[in-house]
Every structure is written in C-alpha cells, then in structure tokens.
A = this chain, B = another copy of it.
Amino acid sequence: MVTLSEVAKRAHVTAATVSNVLRNREKVRPETAERVLKAIADLGYRPNLNARALAEGRSSTLALMLSNISNPFYPEFVLAAERAARKAGYFLMVCNTDDDAEIGRAYLNQIAGTLADGVLVMNTDIAINDLCASATHSAPILLAMWEHPETPPELPCIAVDFARAGELAAQHLLELGHREVGLLIGDGCGGLQDARSNGFRATMRAAGVEADTAAVLQIRDSIDAGYAACMQLMAVRPFVTAIFATNDLLAIGAAQALITLGRAVPDDVSVIGITDIQLAHQVHPALTTVAIQTAEIAELSIESLIRLIQAPERQPSMVIGPPPQLVVRASTGPCRRR
C-alpha cells in the first residue's frame, strides 16, 4: 500500500504538504501541488480512509439499519438514501438486522460512533430505549418513518402521516360508493401500521361505516400473507366490495387472491394499498395506492441525519415528511353492488 509519506518523499515535500494538496489547495504553491499530484498519480496513491477517519474523528459513513432488505420497500429506500448520502460525501452502510433485535443491538454498538457518524433506523425491532441509550453515548440516531406524528419519540425522527394515508384511502373508497370493506393490517414490526388502519377506520366511521370486525385481519407483511388473508376474508365475508390493505404487498396479494377466486378487480372488488412501491404499478391490474413518497423521505432522512451530526444541538426533534398522496390506478372502481 502506498502511503502519504511515500508520496511526500517522491515529491520532495513532507506529508503535511501532500495532505494540504489533497484538501485545501490554496495553501500550496501551484508548482509544488503539481509535483505532488504527479507523485500521487505515479504511485497510484489512494488515501487510507481508516487512518483518515481516525485522525479526523469522523468516518464519513452513515449506517442504515433495517429489519430485512428482502421486503421490496427497503431497496427503494436504500437506493434513494444511498444517492443522497453519496451526494453529501458520505458512504452508506446498510445493516440488515434480519428481524433480530439482538443483531440490531450488536450492530448499533459496534458501528455507531466508530464506523458510522450517524445511524438511520427504519423500524423498531430494537426498543426505543435501547436506541436512546446508544444515542446518548455515541453517534446521533434518527428514526426514519415514524408513524405517530402526534406522539414524538425520545429520538429525533422523520414523521410520516400514515393516518392521513389511511384517510385518503378511505375517502377514495367512500367516493366510489363502497360501504362493505375488508381490512388487511400488516404487522410491520410491533403494530407499526396501526396509524394507517386507524386513520382509515376513523374516516369510514365518520361516514357512518363501521368496521366489521370479522373483516379485519392482522397479518405479516408479504404478498403471500395478503393472498392467504384475502382468501380467508372472502370465505367469511364474500360481500365486501373493497379491500383496504395497510401496505402494497398485502394489497397485491389480495388482488391476486381475488382474481384466483374469479372475482374481477376492480369490477367485483376494489383493492387499495399504501406506500406505492414500484411493484404497485408493475402489477396488473396496476394497484391504486396512497404514495408516501419513499425517495423523498429517504433524502430527507439522510439530510436530517447529516445536519444532526454537524450540529447535534438545535435540530428539530421531529421533521414532518411529505404528505401522502392518493395514486389512482386500475385496482379500484365504483361500487357495483345494488
């Protein structure tokens, strides 16, 4: 490995000068700089980022902790987060906790403050308390996609108004004339998706439609689970004219179940989800959903985290993310019943 001092030697200067060339070139006389740059090129010098991190006291790396990257929502978030981080001069380290709080805690302890200058946490496999404890004696931790704007957590967060997303979904179904609706509620780690279903139900109730408890299923987040749950739902409540799922995976699974059952979507039954993952528009019929603007949230999260690193004090403890937006596609239509 070629080091700074080897470059220095070859350019007949000292390490300090080489370092100066590498960062603030103003201090260095052009001809010296040129000699140094030539030495760098000749030797194929590449700075050792660990040494730099140690000396600077910062690693220029951000960590993103998420439970399981195989949920298609995460890759989309990761992609946007990585771009934002790169643009700001940071690396992004993706830490999969594999749905295991123990692994999450281990990662946090090892990484925060050493390998990473700040940590973005996507969900709470890890108890908030643990996160707080870690945050106090190491690097800033930011919760991305906090679901409850009305009750800020102990940690700084990006809040997303998921209740509003539920409302929008409900309004859309109500406008289409649906009154008998099935609900598929994803678990998303510790009842995370309550806000969505509560927002939905509150809006329905305001319109005089009470949720039929037998038509409310609480399930794991996946297409499979959505499919199975929808099958079960249609067996018990064959007369629902619409299905609301708290996320797109469930909704996609549900739509497929309906088609398998010979129920046309949306002619017989409408389906609506929340999130607007890529799959939502690639599936047929394309899914109507409430977009939460994943990429924007990812960027906002990264930017907020960086601000938090640079000026830990005087940062808002909660940043409100972009408002959810209804995206009407082909899976919802007017209620044909009666």
Contact = CB atoms under 8 A, between A and B. Distances in A.
Interface residues of A, number: 54
Interface stretch (A15-23, A70-78, A162-170, A196-204): A70-78
A59 B68 contact: no
A244 B311 CA distance: 55
A116 to B, nearest CB: 10
A83 B69 contact: no
A219 interface: no
Interface string A43-72: 010111111011000010100000011101
A256 B82 CA distance: 32
A227 interface: yes
A132 interface: no
A27 interface: no
Contacts of A138: 1, 46
A224 interface: yes
B83 A76 contact: no
A98 B115 CA distance: 23
Contacts of A54: 48, 50-51, 54
A259 interface: yes
A315 interface: no
B96 A79 contact: yes
A80 to B, nearest CB: 9
B222 A49 contact: no
A78 B79 CA distance: 14
A94 B92 CA distance: 8
A276 B113 CA distance: 39
A94 B114 contact: no
Interface in A165-223: 222-223
A70 B75 contact: yes
Contact of A75 (B44, B69, B259): B69
Contacts of A53: 50
Interface string A270-291: 0000000011001110000000
A122 interface: no
A260 interface: yes
Contact of A78 (B48, B61, B96): B96
Nearest to A1: B113
Given A103-B86, A284-B260, A46 B114 contact: yes
Given A49-B114, A83-B96, A257-B284, 12 more contacts: A1-B113, A44-B137, A48-B114, A49-B111, A50-B59, A69-B75, A72-B72, A75-B75, A79-B98, A94-B94, A227-B284, A260-B284
